[in-house]
Structure 1
Amino acid sequence: MITEEQREAVTGWFAGRLPGEWTVEPPRVTVDREEVTVVLTIEDVTAGESEVATAEARAGRARGFREDTREERMKIAREAQHRYERTVSWGLRVGDHEELWTHVAAPVMTRLRQPQRQVLDTLVESGVARSRADALAWCVRLVGQHEGDWLAELREAMTAVDDVRSKGPAA
């Protein structure tokens, strides 16, 4: 498990390492066992004549930023990967347009009993998912979307437990 202190260290390192002119707000940094994801927010475009024009302008600005900063981002990623022993992935937000570029899809093994397998098989047979693995990923995304507040509260509680453990007699 990643501690809050480790998350803060990684977030602080990126805040100090990234060129200030790249973003209009601090980067959003997410850390797990395999990956560090850095989402940058750049200046929004001037609204177009329509929603479609604005959306395309944002997508174009994101594409330009990705290409223009590629070499420097890869250099920073190599430094961070060496320092934190995790893959670094990048994303960008322009207005309400957000995209993630190359990021890790880590395999996760699990054992399921027949009732759970039947849920996955129903999703596959109905065409909602291509495979059991896709069905399981779909289920996890759905829980993440609908239980976000509960998951955030659970993460906060885990952080509090880590703090108590670090102050215990074995510390």
Structure 2
Amino acid sequence: MITAEMRERVTGWFAGRLPADWQPADVTIDREEITVVLTIDDVALESPSETALAEARAGRASAFREDTRERRMEIAREAQHRFERTVSWGLAVGDHRELWTHVAAPVMTRLRQPQRLVLETLVDAGVARSRADALAWCVRLVAQHEDDWLTELRDAMTAVADVRAKGPAA
């Protein structure tokens, strides 16, 4: 469980450690990884088509990634040592958002036949290449359609973790 204090420590550290022109940063934390998505200025093109704008944003993201690689690696090493989690990076340029080298952590689960049949249907229909891909697809779909509910649930869990942390030591 990631507590509010842990979130504050991590986001505060990155706010102080990142260069001013890399702000604001969206920092997401879980058990294995800290993902930092930086936001940079959008491209300015006169009367661009959607295709030209999308390519310009992708080009700006690619250039930023290459130009900042060493500095990001240095910051990531410090954060990984401090917080004992892998640091991954991403970038937002306008409505273009991309993640670079981020963790794909294996998760084991036990499913009964009705749940396995759902995964098999997705594989057989070509929606997913494997059961693992099908399960990831299902998780993405739930996250997409139930974002408000999941946010409320995470906030409630954080509040519980904060109350537990203030309680008596075991």
TM-score bracket relative to the smaller structure: over 0.9
CA distance in 2, matches of 1:96, 1:36: 22
Residue 10 of structure 1 corresponds to which residue in structure 2?
10
Does 2:58 correspond to 1:59?
yes
Normalised by the size of structure 2, how large is the TM-score? 0.95
Residue 99 of structure 1 corresponds to which residue in structure 2?
98
* Paired residues of 2:36 and 2:87 also in contact (CA < 8 A): yes
Residue 22 of structure 1 corresponds to which residue in structure 2?
22
Query: 1:54-98: per-residue Cα shift (whole Å, max 9, x none)?
Result: 111111111111111001000000111111111100000000000
Shift of 1:21: 2.0
SS in 2 for 1:90: strand
The one-letter amino acid paired with 1:107 is P
Shift of 1:166: 2.4
Out of 41-50 and 114-123, give the one that drifted further. Answer: 41-50
Match among 38, 41, 44 for residue 40 of structure 1: 38
Matched ranges for 1:10-159 at <5 A: 10-23=10-23, 26-48=24-46, 49-159=48-158
CA distance in 2, matches of 1:166, 1:70: 37
Shift of 1:47: 3.4
The one-letter amino acid paired with 1:21 is D
CA distance in 1, matches of 2:85, 2:135: 24
Shift of 1:106: 0.2
Shift of 1:167: 2.8
Normalised by the size of structure 1, how large is the TM-score? 0.95
User: After the TM superposition, which segments of 4 or more aligned residues of structure 1 sit over 3 Å from their partners?
Assistant: none
Root mean square deviation of aligned Cα: 1.2
Structure 1 residue runs of 5 or longer lacking an equivalent are none
- Count of aligned pairs between the two proteins: 169
Percent identical residues: 80
Residue 168 of structure 2 corresponds to which residue in structure 1?
169
Q: Which has the higher contact order (CA 8 A, sep 6+)?
A: 2
